[in-house]
Structure 1
């Protein structure tokens, strides 16, 4: 089978690509913990010079915007994948797919980083359109789970957004321990989300406009 991979990067380009990945991973960790952290903290965690960071992104605002957009792309890929996998699926498959989807989002930081950074960067028209696409796809996935009886009927898209954001604020121990605890609390929340016979939740979930208004900060 013929390879479709492109030619290998030159030494300088390969190093730049590695630095870029280090910067993005460091920035996700630093700004998820503290959106107000200085950009120097990202360079320090990534182990790169701050000049390399500024050459790539220009400013902290530019880096935050890139991270948020990347987080949206990650989430969108996951939710559309979950929709494709659950087309015509039964209750058990939908329950498992919804849980797997949320655990993957947690691992990837998908969606949560965008919510966490709300108000810290300018939102482009493209990002706004992508947000509506994400909202619609998530609603469709939740509606399928509700129709199958594996999700309580009063859970909405805004609940999922806030739950993922809150889980990423769990900061106990090193990175490995923190990841274990985040998944522990997601497992507990999934039990609550599946309690279809429970009493109604207090008040409505955040709607699209409430979620969108956070970005005008």
Structure 2
């Protein structure tokens, strides 16, 4: 048996453990917020704490990696939306894919970890793709003119967190999971239809700015890394 042959199963196991840790971290964040413990994450992943620390030096590093992956997925969903021939359907694709990608959002850890240069770079790419989606939908007359990219992102953040799904998960009611997912899809479609032009009335208040995101994520130490 060669060294490569011996190493392959270990590498495959490490990759499986990493995927399990990242999924467990998302689930723990959805359930416990930024207070999710390393022990809880490791238990959810079915690995020992030692395995977690061999892959990530700290909980912060694990969460930073989770953010990078999430931003990559948001960018991919937005770019897939831009590739869609219909501007409205492309916008809907991005929103639905972003909401469906996992439990909750990463908002609970905003301001608790340092924004790395990689996170900042991925964030700028995602923002640019979403802005292009929104601009294209506006130009086509499909998206109501008073809806901004920030409005869309905040709506996605709200819909990504499902109290119904969270409650059923805590109760272990797997028998109701499919019905709950279907209900969330319907509610999401209802909400997204509220973005379509023409609008029955003007939205109240001033358009939100990106500071609603950036101020949550930044500290004086990393203020130069984000918008």
Whole-Å Cα distance in 2 between the matches of residues 182 and 8 of structure 1? 46
What pairs up with 1:90-109 in 2 under 5 angstroms?
93-109=86-102
Q: Is 1:179 the equivalent of 2:178?
A: no
Aligned to 1:76: 75
- Report the secondary structure of 2:40's partner residue: helix
Give the whole-Å Cα distance in 2 for the aligned partners of 1:170 and 1:142. 25
Point out the structure with the larger helix share. Answer: 2
Structure 1 residues 181 and 205: CA distance shift in structure 2, 3 A: farther
Task: Please state how far the C-alpha of 1:206 moved relative to its aligned partner.
Answer: 2.7
Written as runs of structure 1 = structure 2, the 5 A alignment for 1:112-151 is: 113-151=105-143
Q: TM-score, normalised by structure 2?
A: 0.80
Q: Distance in 2 between matches of 1:37 and 1:58?
A: 16
Counterpart position of 1:37: 36
Q: Secondary structure at the match of 2:146?
A: coil
Q: Which residue of structure 2 aligns with residue 11 of structure 1?
A: 9
Specify every segment of 5 or more residues in structure 1 that has no aligned partner in the other structure, as ranges.
1-6
Q: Is the 8 A contact 2:151 2:208 kept in 1?
A: yes
Residues 126 and 17 of structure 1, relative CA distance in 2, 3 Å threshold = closer
**Superposition RMSD on alpha carbons, in Å?**
2.3
**By how many angstroms is 1:61 displaced?**
0.9
What TM-score, normalized by structure 1, do the two folds share? Answer: 0.84
1:93-142 deviation line (CA, Å, top 9, x unaligned):
222222122111122249x6343431121102232233222222211111
Structure 2 gap ranges (5+) = 220-227
